Structure formats: structure tokens, C-alpha cells
Chain A
Amino acid sequence: MKQLFTRYTIAAIMLFLAACSKDIEETNLLTPSLNPTTTDANAGSWKPILLASANEVSVPAPIAKTAPDYTAQINEIKGWQKNISEDDRKLVKYWNGGAILRWNEIMRELVAKYNLPPVQNENGTYPLPNASNPLAYPFFPFSNPPYAARAYAYVSAAQYDALIAAHHYKNLYKREAPYFADQNINALVNKSTLYSYPSEDAVVIGASVELLKLLFPGEQNFIQQKAEEHRRARFIAGANVRDEIEAGEALGRAVALKYVQRARTDRTGAAAGITNGVDLWKEFEQAAIQKGESPWISQEMPKRPPMLPYFGRVKPFLFDSLTVVTKIRPVAPPSTKSEAFKKELDEVLYYSKNANRERIRMVHVWGDGVGTYTPPGHWNAIAAEHMIPLKLSEVRWARNLALLNMSLMDAAIVCWDAKFTYYNPRPSQVNPEIKTLTGLPNFPSYVSGHSTFSGAASTILGHLIPEKASLFTEMALEASFSRLYGAIHYRSDCEVGLEMGKKVGSYAIQRAQNDGAN
């Protein structure tokens, strides 16, 4: 009886403590171990993006299972598995969520950390982040939405190509996984019938590390630490021996170098529009004035040059630069002198003055402003959330995110093309009575970036996960109109942006229908 009482008391105290616990449940840590319904073993025949073919990069044949060195590698795993600490188990559980998912999360984290506009100099000018000196303020990069969209796209596309190549060599060399090769190895992952040389986790590590070196050069120690944890998780889990990891990383790095080469020549370097202190971007202002329109003017104090004015000329993934101009560029927005414009302006003023809690919720949920992973990152998070229950293979995860992120990058390109072609003012510039419910972005209004991103993302995601298509469409609509409710965009910015995004998404669908993955 007394014992029972003690037990109840302890239980009650535990319950009380649990209720008081201020620990936060991080939803990404709830991800179950990857357990694909199909392995997509034939993915070696899918169509890569930049690689000419799955075997463009060569991978040497692995040593035989009978070789003494293989036995040594098996013994290495046994050594890892002898004393598995609680931390090691956590590590394995974390990485079992999936290589593509975890590196996507790492990227989102880096974007959020670096998404901060530099503070002005004493003399009222703004310093430009410098890739060759990333750790000195202003830190490189300023991972604003276009920069972030491009970063997600390059890493995702490289991961996808690397995995296609890995699948090709897996089927060529047919090395079975360590937990099948040796009965005494415990599989702390869901066993996969995929051949394990080269390791699919390792190609993701190799591709990601190599590209993040370029994209977030100040974060090498953080990235290498993540890579090291990922490798260790694979050993401890009995999922790969060392040469499978090494061959995979080498393959991933080699594939990534093709992307690095592309990135260096995709015209992003010129996107800031400032060369040797000369503001080239003023040409957009001049063009607007010549057309008799009111040009956009920075409302920051001191005035900040617009964000990446030449990003519209960056080389897209899903179509060529001519298509941006001839097929996707929208018609001009209503002239600031027109009645139609006045009507739209009044609508913005209405939402500025009549905010309610539900609209504020939308504005904040979709704000994705300074210090966040940006709208493209948000759509990655949404995609991940809805892909987890589908139990996809790594390579299909990679394919879906590559399609999504190429859409998002190309959405940034077409959106920025429109913004700087028309260079029209924000609502609060025309009517100072308009106060905003979220940070005012420092670039022209037409069309809305959130809308273009969301139109593109919801379109390709609706194709990839048809049962959720209407949900994605609703989300895109909410994201888009949250910018009107936040009083930073006109209705036409949102509507036209959504349409342009959908067009971009339809190019991604075309690709998806012909990449051999269906």
C-alpha cells in the first residue's frame, strides 16, 4: 500500500514536472527513419540536370568482399557498435530521417542565419558583403530571397544528379550492405535492398559540402562538423563501410564541381548592379522616368540600393533567358496616374488601417522576412512536411526538391525581371499614410516575390503530390495575399505574380514528366 502510494506520488510529480517542462518539441526531430516504399533502384536511368549522363563521373570498382581490407572495414563498424552512447543513438536517429531532408534543413538554417541586410556605413552608404572575406562584417552572403532561392536550387539539383550517378554505380558494382554482408552487424537503420557502393548518404554529403563551401564560405567549420556527424551516423548504424562513404563523397564532390562552374558563370556575380562604386542600377530608374512613370525609391534611411537589381538576368534552370523576357514577363502594371492604380492604392490603405488578427496571422506566418529561411525556404519546409509521410527514397526526395527549388530559383529570376523592368513604387511610397504590418522589402513592387515563389512552388508540388494539390493552391493564395494584407503590395502585384509563378511551375512539370522517374 505504502509502495503504491509512493509510486503514485512519484508519477504525479513526474507528470507535474512534465507539464512544467519548458522543453520545446522540435517538429523536425519527430521525423521517422527513412523507410521507402520503393527503392527506385532504377534511378540510374533517370535524366540528370547538368550531368551529361549518369556515368559522366567515373567511380572506381570497389574491392571484393573477400579482400582483407573489406574485413577491416567491417571490423571498423563493429568497433563503432561496441559501445554506442546515448548521444550516438540520437545522432543515428537524427540522420536516419534522411540525407536529403537533413541537408535541406541545414541549408535553411544557414539561410536564416545569413538573411540580414548589412547596416550602413558612417557616411550613409552600404557595404557589400565580400565572398573572399566572409567572416568580416558585413558577413557573406546576405542570403536574401533571390540568393537563397539560387542556393537551394544549386544544392538540390547537384544532390539529385549525384544520386542518379550513385544509383548507376550501385547497380554496376552490386556491393551489398554491411548488415547483409556480416550477420554480426546490427542495422540501426531500416534495411535497404539497394546496393551500398557508393553510399547515397555520402554523395549527398559530398555534393552539399562542396556547394555550401561556395554559397556559405564562412560556415566551413559548421558544415564539416555536420558532414562528420553524418558519416559517423552511417558507420554506427552499420549502413556503410568506409570505402562506400569515401567513393560516394568523391562522386558527390565531382558532380558538385559542375554546379560550382555553372554558378560562377550564371551572372549572379553582376546582380548587385554596383561595379567599382558605380550604381549601374540607376538605369532602371532613368528608364521609368523616361516612360513618364514614378520610379521606385528606397524608403530605407539612409536610402539603400535595391536588392540584386540584375537578378532577372541570372541564367535559369528550367528555360532560357529569352523565355524570361518573351514568354513570362508580364504586361506593365497600372500606371501610377491611372484610376485603376488609385483604386488599388486605396485597397492597400484599407488593409493597412483595418488589420484584424486573422490577417495579421497570415502576414506573420508568410512574412519570411529578415532572419528567416525566406519564402523559398518556407516552401522547402512545406514540401518536406508533406513528403515525409510518402515514404520516398533518397533519390526521389532529391528529385522532388530539385524540381521545387529550380522552380523557386527561376521564379526569383522572372519576378526580379518584372520588378526591374517596371520599377514601380511601393504603396507606402505613393501614400505615406500606408503603414505596413511587416518589413517593407527594399525593391520595386510589381510583381510580388512571395506570390511568384508560391505560384511556382504550389504548381510543381501539386504535380508531385496530387492529393495535396488543392491544399498547396490555397496556401499559395494565402501567402500571396498576405502581402496585400501586410500593406506592402497592390492586388495586381499578387495576382500577376501568382500567374507568373504558375507558368514557371508548368515548365517544371514538363521536366518532371520527362525525367524517367514516373
Chain B
Amino acid sequence: MFLHIKQAYLCKYPAFKRKFNLIIYLFIGSTLPLSAQTDIDAIMMGKNLFCTGIMYSGSNWNEYWEGSLKRENFNLGTVSTQMAGPMGNLGVSSRLNVIFNLPYVSTKASAGQLKGFKGMQDLSLWLKWKPVKKQIGKGTLSLFTIGGYSTPSSDYVADYLPLSIGLRSRNISLRGMADYQVGVWTATVSGTYVHRSNIEIDRTSYYTTEMHYSNEVFMPDAAQFNLRMGYRGKEWLVEAVADNWTTLGGFDITRNNMPFPSNKMNMTKIGISMKYEPAYVKGLTFIGGANTTVAGRNVGKSAGIQAGLFYIFNLSGKKSEKTKNN
């Protein structure tokens, strides 16, 4: 958020001829989830299909919220974050998918002297389960439960905001999601509770709203709401996305202070998410998206884009067009 709330997102794709290819992609943090994704969208990989590829995202901001005060900082200029890394989604069955994501992140400030950081961020894993699929009225209702876990994959530094590459907490998340599709038109809504572990920093004391004599930092939990609606066709998927992340606790950055990992970071983003599966190359999928932050607290007012390239492998040895749908 200030940089990134690490959260990975995966996406997949509907495909051709009554079948859907899946693709996964995900991305993180400040470039929140506005493309078709797998841990937060309603698309499932079919059995024995493994969708994998590379996801890239970039975002930047030159204004941020210090508490609720929107400001600039000429000693930071524009802060940019880039992420790239592998994502994958394995169809254990058409109702149970396993998703992973492991991004490399780099940060940079255009002004001032502070050096940007880079490194491997967090490994994220999800189990996505679709217990209910039911015809209701003219459309199909699907219900999902998604459990996630993420953990730092390197010893990167969290206590260097706004240029640290992540926050280091180990997160356990539980998401409930409902999707309703009528023909090519869909709407998906989800709510997530994210339990975040405390983190350790290099310092032996730090000040929040009071002095702490410890290298351990209490990290408040967080909640996320996501709404996406749009067109889900054979070659194209186009969705408008709104996403809200709210930290359930934490404190505001004081006047002209630096941000801290346990700040109350909130943000609301809107954006668009697209996917294209060309009919002429089976299993290949392109992903793109863009988003912007419309409200926030203790985070950058970032705008970002995403792009991804994925391919679906059929682990059962059959052809990739066997990919299945939602």
C-alpha cells in the first residue's frame, strides 16, 4: 500500500469454443487487483491444467496521505514500484485450485537521496474452492471460499517505508466470494479477512503513538472488499473493478514523519482488467489492466498498470484446449 500490501492475485481466462482457458496472474500491493485474477475472481482451472506465466506491474505516486492529509514530498518526488514474477494456478479439480505467486519487487524515488530497494518479496499460496454452482433465474450463481497464506521469501527490510519492498508480515487470509453470470455478463463480489502476524525490525525500539522497547511490531489485521463486473466472452474478458483495503487498527503518520509498517493504511482503487485469449494460439493468454487510487490514508495515491503473459499446460497429456471454465 504505501508501497504494497502484498497480496497476490491470480487470474484466468475463459477460452474458446465452450471451453475456457485459464490463466493465472497475480500482482501485488500498490498495483492492487484490478485485472482478472484467480484468487479474487470467479474463474476456475479445469482438472490437471496448470496455467503459468509472468506477471508484471508498475505503479507510481507523487502524492500521498499523511494520515488524512494529502500532500507532496519534494524529497521523494515520484515514488515508483515495479514488480515481476511467476504465477501459477493448478487445477486439482474443476472445483479446487491451488494458486501461487512469487514477485520480485524494486522501488525508486525520483527526488531526494534515498536509495531504492529491490528483492524477492513474499511467496503467496491460495486454495480456492467452489462448493456451490447453481442455476438461479436466468443466470448461474457460484460461491467460493478462498484461503491464503503468504510469507517473506527473502530477508528484505520492511522498516524503510516508503521504499521498502514489502511489510514482511505472514498473512493468513480467508475470503468469501459470490459470482453471478448471465450469458456473457458477470458480477463478482468478495470480502476478505487478513490476519497479519507481527513483524520484526532491525531497531530495538520505535515510536508509534508511544515508545516501544522491542524489535517486534504489532501489525493490525486488515479487511478487503472487491467488486468486479463486466463482459466475459470467448476471447475477451473486460471487467471494471473496485477494491477497498482497510487496516483494522494502526496509527496515522505524524506531521512530516516517515511512514511505518504498522500505520493505518487504507485505500480504495478503481480500475479495469482485461484478458485476451487469441483463438489462433491455444493456451496462450495476455493480460492487461490499469487502476488508480481514489481514496486513501497513510498510502501513496498511486496509479498503476499490469501486464502478463501466460500459458496453460495440460498435465494429463491431453491438449490444452481442454481447459475448463467456471
Contacts and interface: CB of A to CB of B under 8 A. Distances in A.
Contacts of B210: 109
A442 to B, nearest CB: 10
Given A22-B218, A116-B255, A116-B257, A371 B207 contact: yes
B281 interface: no
Interface stretch (B18-26, B132-140, B198-206): B198-206
Nearest to B154: A357
B315 interface: no
Contacts, number: 98
B115 A364 contact: no
Given A24-B216, A26-B213, A301-B75, A372 B115 contact: no
B214 interface: yes
A352 interface: yes
Nearest to A124: B74
Interface in B123-171: 155, 157, 159-160
Interface string A291-311: 000000001111000000000
A141 to B, nearest CB: 14
Contacts of A118: 256
Contacts of B112: 299, 301, 440
Interface in B168-222: 197-198, 201-207, 210-214, 216-219
Contacts of A487: 115
B256 A299 contact: no
A439 B114 contact: yes
Nearest to A429: B113
B202 A119 contact: no
B264 to A, nearest CB: 16
Contacts of A367: 203
A117 B75 CA distance: 13
B76 to A, nearest CB: 9
A82 to B, nearest CB: 31
B74 A302 contact: yes
A361 B256 CA distance: 24
A78 interface: no
A14 interface: no
Given A24-B214, A25-B214, A119-B255, A435 B160 contact: no
B68 interface: no
B113 A105 contact: no
Contacts of B256: 116-119
Interface residues of B, number: 35
A372 B201 CA distance: 14
Contacts of B211: 105, 108-109, 112, 373
A27 interface: yes
A113 B254 CA distance: 9
Contact of B202 (A116, A365, A373): A365
B214 A381 contact: no
Nearest to B76: A301
B160 A364 contact: yes
Nearest to A30: B213
A437 interface: yes
Contacts of B115: 352, 355, 435-437, 487
29 contacts: A22-B198, A22-B219, A24-B214, A25-B214, A25-B216, A27-B213, A112-B207, A113-B207, A116-B254, A116-B256, A299-B112, A299-B113, A301-B74, A301-B111, A302-B74, A352-B115, A355-B115, A364-B159, A364-B160, A365-B204, A371-B207, A371-B254, A372-B203, A372-B205, A373-B211, A381-B205, A435-B114, A440-B112, A440-B114
Interface of B: 74-75, 111-116, 155, 157, 159-160, 197-198, 201-207, 210-214, 216-219, 254-258
Q: Enumerate the 3 nearest inter-chain pairs by beta-carbon distance, A residue then B residue, closest first.
A: A435-B115, A301-B74, A109-B211
Given A108-B205, A119-B256, A373-B205, 8 more contacts: A22-B219, A23-B218, A116-B257, A117-B256, A355-B115, A372-B205, A381-B204, A437-B115
